[in-house]
Structure formats: structure tokens, C-alpha cells
Amino acid sequence: MDQINVNGMEFWAYHGLFPEENKLGQRFYVDLELELNLKPAGTTDDMNESINYGDVYQVTKTIVEGEPKNLVETVSENLAGELLHQFSLLEGCRVKITKPDPPIPGHYKSVAIDIYRSRSDD
């Protein structure tokens, strides 16, 4: 399946289990792999045969910067569901949300949730 990749989107949001996360907020990075048949767009040069990246960004921003959730897993599910709902050409999507600075002890670069959802998951 063909893909549109939208990588390295950065948002400030208030998701997390700890009160300071909900009060102070933190950075979240989002990478998306959007699966759809791109041949019609490539052969017709018609935007209606593809997905507008700007629209994808706005949907992502609305979900990620929206109502705080306890779990990044919930944010990921909500985003995948909304993308599949809003973009009828989308067959499947991988959503990776990275939390580079979670307030947990230890040495690591980041933690991330990485899910794949498709229309056949319904």
C-alpha cells in the first residue's frame, strides 16, 4: 500500500497521569504513516485523489492539543479514529506519539506509543 508520511510534528499538550503534567504541559512529537492508493492522484494530478497534508496537520493538532488525557495511548487511539473518520480515502494509519520528557526516573531518549489502525479494525 502507498503511504503519505507526515513526520516530526511538534505540539505542546497536557496529557499524563501526574498533576504537574496536566498543569505545566510538555512536548509531544507525532509521526504519521497514512496508507492509501496514490496511483489515481499520481496519474491525474488531482488533489481530490489524495489527502491534504495541511488538513492532516490540523486534525492532529486538534486532537493532540485538545482535552488532556491520562494516557498517550488514548490520544493515539483518538487520533487514529479521527483520521480514518475524516479522510475517506485512508485505508490505514500508523500513529506514533513520542513523549521526550516524561517525568519518570531513569536515563532514556524518550518514550513512545506506536499503533496501527485500519478500516478493517471496525
Q: Would residue 61 show up in a list of annotated catalytic residues for this protein?
A: no
For domain 3-121, give the CATH number: 3.30.1130.10
Q: Quick count: other Cβ atoms within 10 Å of Cβ 113?
A: 16
C-alpha span between 52 and 104 (Å, rounded): 37
One of 23, 96, 99, 109 is an active-site residue; which one?
99
Question: What are the pLDDT tens digits along the chain (122 aa)?
Answer: 999 999 999 999 999 998 888 999 999 999 999 999 999 999 999 999 999 999 999 999 999 999 999 999 999 999 999 999 999 999 999 999 999 988 888 888 899 999 999 998 76
Cα–Cα distance between 85 and 106 in angstroms, integer?
38
